[in-house]
Amino acid sequence: MTPRISVWISNSVLISFLVVSILYSIIHVENKSLRNESSSLIDEKNRSFARVQELSRVKNEFPIAYQCHYNFGLSDGSLFESTEKIPYSIYKRLRLGDSIEIYKKELKILGKQTAISRIMGNDEPLPLLENLEKYFKYSFYYFLALTTVLFSIRVLGWLFRTYPSQKKLNETDVIVANNSLDSHQK
């Protein structure tokens, strides 16, 4: 008995692996550039002001964490809303509608004009594309393993495939030829 995998299944897994690989590489490059931009964010030329829109506590997280939602203006005149995790020391100073000092930088992420920002004095990490990158990395590993298994099964199927001997092929050709002659004679 030879292991057999349908060709369309293994081809679709291979195509899925290629698509996930391309998406993972794009997200990885974008996240790397975001990390570089966020490391150079704290500079006096990037200093600006924002207005606090909402303060909240992050549920089901220990130790207790807080979030601040604020908006600020971009160079084209539009408002940009940002959410940032903040420590309790900053949380207890803020009230809704307060003006806060931030560092902001406008850039393009995946071809879309956007901005990154950080509240002055906040040491919490910025929410970049880490979760999306992690999702695509695990998807990449999953499809790599699946592609390897299916490719191995297909190769083993080709290796164990038995080919009829030359003698049997000649006998089969003679029988087919005789049957076709008989059908033409009738």
Bridge partners, 55 (sequence order): 68
pLDDT at 168 over 60: no
- Calpha distance 49→101 (Å, rounded): 5
What is the Rg, in whole angstroms, of the alpha carbon atoms belonging to the chain?
31
Distances (CA, A) of 120 to 49, 90, 103, 104: 10, 10, 7, 10
Asked which of 1-5, 6-10, 65-69, 148-152 is least confident by mean pLDDT, the reply is: 1-5
pTM above 0.95, yes or no: no
**What is the token pair recorded at 70?**
């604020």
pLDDT at 161 over 70: no
Range of the domain at 53: 39-126
pLDDT at 123: 82
**Average pLDDT over the chain, rounded to an integer:** 80
Which residue type, as a one-letter code, is found at position 105? K
Whether the bond into 3 is cis, omega within 30 of 0: no
Query: What CATH number did the domain enclosing 53 receive?
Result: 2.40.50
Residue 156 covered by a domain: no
Q: How many domains does the chain have?
A: 1
Burial label, 14 (beta-carbon count in 10 A; 0-12, 13-18, 19+): middle
pLDDT at 25 over 80: yes
Residue 63 covered by a domain: yes
